[in-house]
Structure 1
Amino acid sequence: MRILIVEDDALLGDGLQAGLRQRGFDADWVRDGSAALLAVRSESYAATVLDLGLPGIDGMEVLSQLRAQRSAVPVLILTARDAIDDRIRGLDGGADDYVLKPVDIDELAARLRALVRRAHGEAQPELRNGELVLNPATHTVHFRGQPVELGAREFALLHELLLGAGRVLTREQLESRLYGWGDEVESNAIEVHIHHLRRKLEPEVIRTVRGVGYLMPRAD
């Protein structure tokens, strides 16, 4: 799950990025509002962690511009501003959650998972499609009642396919959601991971739509 961290404090930003990566997120990090707007326009993120006290364009203006541009990316405000008026303004301005610093990294990870679930209309903590069950919190997968061992990228890819079950996702979309800045991406990386998932599950779980991309059919 690829997310964007917008935080100007170098120590905190580095800590958030490292902590969330340890918990299975692919986290990019920028330090100002202009960079945040550019990143959200050009990349595909499951969610954004947004500080309010940013240099140049502040966090509230970033949020306002994102919503004015019809960006639906879930936004979690992470700030030291604890006044009730600030919280109301943030949530009414389009934020999906408002969290005060300092925050426990496990709580932040859980809140991000919840934001992504809600953004995809999922109420349950587990993602289910027929006999396939994926739990983002425990990083586990079961198929037909049996545990399935997956590598980190395989898990991330399966997560994206489950979130998009019933829709065709292109290779470019999947690459954008799985790989952050600085990651080396082989030209056939998605195809290789798809092959491994089919072998560990079964071929029909993921279908190839020739010339378009990949589809996980919704189970009845």
Structure 2
Amino acid sequence: MAEILVVEDDPEMGALVERGLRGEGHTVTLVTDGVAALVAARTQAFDAAAIDVMLPEMTGFEVCRRLREMGQDLPVVLVTARDAVDDRVFGLDSGADDYLTKPFAIAELNARLRAHLRRRAAGTPTVVEAGAVRLDTVAVRATVRGRDLPLSVKEFSLLRFLVQGVGTVRSRTEVLDEVWGSAEHFDPTIVDQYVSYVRKKLQAADADVAIRTVRGVGYALDVVAAP
């Protein structure tokens, strides 16, 4: 089973989540604020984290961002009562792998953590390439002909999935399952939004790849003639 970091300032909710995760056989470290979460992450190796967004002094968004800056690549599920699309996008751009809206069933949190841990255990190649685009999955760094391609964590994950299956059409459901961890709990239009973001950045970098829309199905990455 896994070592899970839980960051929750509400005592009742924290106890509920801790009990539910322990019931799955996980070892749980429960802290109540962002500073304590960062300290714990520096001194202990965790396999995944569930972080409340509305924390005192430092939001869950900031905790997630700082974890990524520290080089922590563990799956992070943000937990919050805020369910606006902008909030979800902001959370994912902060480096979160998933976003769970309160109220939720502990079984759902367990299921999402299992899915993320399973994918992490399967592993991904250290470097993937298509044309002049090179993605370092360890450093989470993208380059085009050696020049940095600035991408958010979710944009990087989306491009990585398309590069790994270059020429293969990926449905929105497949993208949601792979990049967002669930096709059930996210609006498929979020895929279209992120494809648009990545397309613009590839075009600005004069990349020799392009994301092709397959109407009614999904998207594929093609290597094209250099501009």
TM-score range, shorter chain: 0.5 to 0.7
Counterpart of 2:94 in structure 1 is 93
Q: Deviations over 1:79-135 (max 9, x none)?
A: 111111000011122100001011111111111111111222269xxxxxxxxxxxx
**4+ residue segments displaced more than 2 Å:** 120-123
Aligned counterpart, 1:54: 55
* Percent identity for Structure 1 against Structure 2: 47
Residues 36-74 of structure 1 show CA distances to partners (whole Å, capped at 9, x for unaligned) of: 001111111110001111011111111111111221111
Alignment of 1:79 with 2:80, yes or no, is yes
Letter aligned with residue 103 of structure 2: P
Distance in structure 1 (CA, Å) of the matches to 2:97 and 2:42: 19
RMSD: 1.4
Answer yes or no: is the 8 Å Cα contact 2:77–2:96 preserved in 1: yes
Distance across 1 between alignment mates of 2:59 and 2:90: 14
Hey, what does 2:6 align to over in structure 1? 5
Q: Which residue of 1 aligns with 2:43?
A: 42
Counterpart-to-counterpart distance in 2, 1:36 and 1:81: 21
Aligned to 1:106: 107
Aligned mates of 2:48, 2:99 — CA distance in 1: 13
Query: Quick one: distance in 1 between partners of 2:58 and 2:120?
Result: 26
Counterpart CA distance in 2 for 1:81 and 1:13 is: 18
Aligned residues: 123
C-alpha separation between the residues in 1 aligned to 2:65 and 2:49? 14
Normalised by the length of structure 1, the TM-score is 0.54
> For 2:91 and 2:75, how far apart are their aligned partners in 1?
13
2:122 match: secondary structure: coil
CA–CA distance in 2 between the matches of 1:90 and 1:36?
Answer: 17
Distance in 1, Cα, partners of 2:68 & 2:21: 25
SS at match of 1:5: strand
The 2-side partners of 1:107 and 1:122 are apart by 23
- Which residue in 1 is equivalent to 2:121? 120
Amino acid at match of 2:34: G
Amino acid at match of 2:122: G
Partner residue in 2 for 1:68: 69
* 1: CA distance, partners of 2:123 / 2:64: 24
Structure 2 unpaired stretches of 5+: 125-227
Rounded to whole Å, the distance in 1 between the matches of 2:61 and 2:12 is: 22
1:103 maps to amino acid: F
Q: Point out which structure has higher relative CO (alpha carbons under 8 A, 6+ apart).
A: 1
With the length of structure 2 as denominator, give the TM-score of the two structures: 0.52
